[in-house]
Amino acid sequence: MTDETSTIHGEALAAINRDLAKKVVELLGTEAQLDLYADDIVMEFPYGPSLGMPDRFETKPKVVDYVRRISEGLQGLVIRQISVSSVAGDPTTVFVEYESDAPTPGGNTYHQIYVNKMQFRDGKLVHMRELWDPKRIIDAGNGVYDRQTAR
């Protein structure tokens, strides 16, 4: 295989993974999103401990349980301004930025800006590191955050 052939293969894989990353975000909160997870998926939330939640979930059953619980609290979620970028030289890694709004039970609007680093293998999400502002979560809940939902 020539360098040109491997570059084309890498670019094609990067395009596939960009599409998958966008799909992961667009399907947020749906059962269809869960089908995109690898069995050995790892999700990381570096700012989670500031809210009393774990910073890491490993394996599909644990990730699915977490995502389902969080999704219940985000009914009416609207996602917008999705931006997807590949990483030069690594067609398996994609960065995704997006914003979301969701009504809260207390009548506020939860607005968040997310940055995700996603890694894919064989058409499945294997690793996601999600960054968000914890203060926006607390503000949307009038200073209260339900820690039980996030565990």
Per-residue pLDDT tens listing for the chain (151 residues): 444 444 547 889 999 999 999 999 999 888 899 999 999 999 999 999 998 889 999 999 999 999 888 877 777 889 999 999 999 999 999 999 999 998 887 788 889 999 999 999 999 999 999 999 988 888 877 555 554 444 4
In this prediction the pTM is 0.85
**Topology of domain 3-140, CATH:** Nuclear Transport Factor 2; Chain: A, (3.10.450)
Q: Which residues have C-beta within 8 Å of that of residue 48, sequence separation ≥ 6?
A: 54, 55, 150
Sequence ranges of the domains in the chain: 3-140
Sheet of 109-121: strands edge to edge? 56-58, 37-44, 124-131, 109-121, 90-103, 78-87
Token readout for 66 is 């977490």
Q: What is the DSSP letter of 147?
A: T
Place of tokens 């506020």: 108
pLDDT at position 7: 52
pLDDT at position 74: 75
pLDDT at position 143: 58
CB-hemisphere CA count at 13 Å for 46? 10
pLDDT at position 144: 55
pLDDT at position 36: 96
CA distance 91 to 116: 16
